[in-house]
Amino acid sequence: MKQRQMAFEAQNSGNPKKRSLRAIGLGFRRGNGPWLFREVTLEIRPGEIVGLTGPSGRGKTTLGRLLSGYDHPSEGKVLLGNEVISHTDDAGYHPVQMVFQHPERAVNPRWRLRRIVSEGWQPDASFLHMLGIETDWLDRWPNELSGGELQRICIARALGPETRFLIADEMTAMLDAITQAQIWHNVLHIVRERQIGVLVISHDVHLLHRLCDRMLNGLF
């Protein structure tokens, strides 16, 4: 066990692009309420696409929020390589980015899309084009785009150069099959090229089967 740990650390200490995302003994509850989950341990390697499914209300979304720094774990820790990232929420760009099911609830309705998409970094036109974003959308307001168009903007916003992992929480559940396939084809292209690891949270077993290298089972 010790040896394995050392080998892991050696592998994880070098190139920042080769560091895994790990959760160790994660648990979460609100205040003194009941535990939503405890003892969740997982690892996602760079460039790996991992699926997570399961009944509603068991904490899949909360796990995603802990991994991407939106919430603090009540116990346990989140590591990128050997560095604890579950307590560094205000230290600039978070290396783990999350994209939510409802894009319209994830953007400021009073900002134009140009400001929204460049909230964390400055994507250039060729990057936007790769995600199927038309440059003339950028002068519009969020309520002038469809759900699929707005979700592309949220994905572009989350895929800055410092993004090492992406949490896709029912990212295309509200979209029709054609838009879903378009978006995933674009995202797969980018994450493969940049060796970004992805956690796909979904109820759609066919989608998970299509996308994922492996499934996380028995977490909760």
Partner 1 sequence: MPLLEIERLAVSFTRYRSRWGKEKVQVLHDVEFSVDAGEVVAVIGASGSGKSLLAHALLGILPENFSASGTIRYRGEPLDAERLKQMRGKEIALVPQSVRFLDPLMRVGAQVRLSVRGDDPYAAQREVFHRYGLAPETENMYPFQLSGGMARRVLVSTATVSGARVIIADEPTPGLQAEDVREALRHFREHADAGCAVLVITHDIESVLTIADRVVVLYAGTTVEIAPAADFTGDGSRLRHPYSRALWQALPQNGFTPIPGTQPQPGKWPSGCLFAPRCDQASPECTFSRPELRTVRAGQVRCIHAHSEDDERGISIDEAASDGI
Which residues form the interface with partner 1 (CB under 8 A)? 54-57, 132, 146-149, 170, 173-182, 184-185, 203-207, 209-211
- Shorter beta-carbon distance to partner 1: residue 21 or 216: 216
Residue with tokens 């990232």: 85
Rg (alpha carbons) of the chain, rounded to whole number: 17
Element housing 43 (H / E): strand 37-44
- Shorter beta-carbon distance to partner 1: residue 162 or 176: 176
Cβ distance 118 to 93 under 8 Å? no
Least distance (Å) between residue 152 CB and partner 1: 10
Least distance (Å) between residue 189 CB and partner 1: 12
Least distance (Å) between residue 76 CB and partner 1: 26
Least distance (Å) between residue 18 CB and partner 1: 29
Please list the residues that pair with 84 across neighbouring strands. 79
- Shorter beta-carbon distance to partner 1: residue 126 or 143: 143
- Shorter beta-carbon distance to partner 1: residue 89 or 144: 144
Least distance (Å) between residue 92 CB and partner 1: 33
- Shorter beta-carbon distance to partner 1: residue 40 or 133: 133
Angle between helices 177-194 and 147-158 (to 10 degrees): 10
Locate 179 and state its tokens: 């838009």
Tell which residue, 5, 65, 1, 79, has the closest CA to residue 37.
65
Cβ distance 39 to 219 under 8 Å? no
Residues 63-102: b if buried by 16+ CB within 10 A, e if exposed: bbbbbbbbbebbebbbbbbeeebbeeeeeeebbbbbbbbe
Distance of CA 34 to the CA centre of its chain: 26
Least distance (Å) between residue 124 CB and partner 1: 22
- Shorter beta-carbon distance to partner 1: residue 91 or 177: 177
Residues in CB range of 191: below 8 A, 6 or more apart: 47, 49, 166, 197, 198
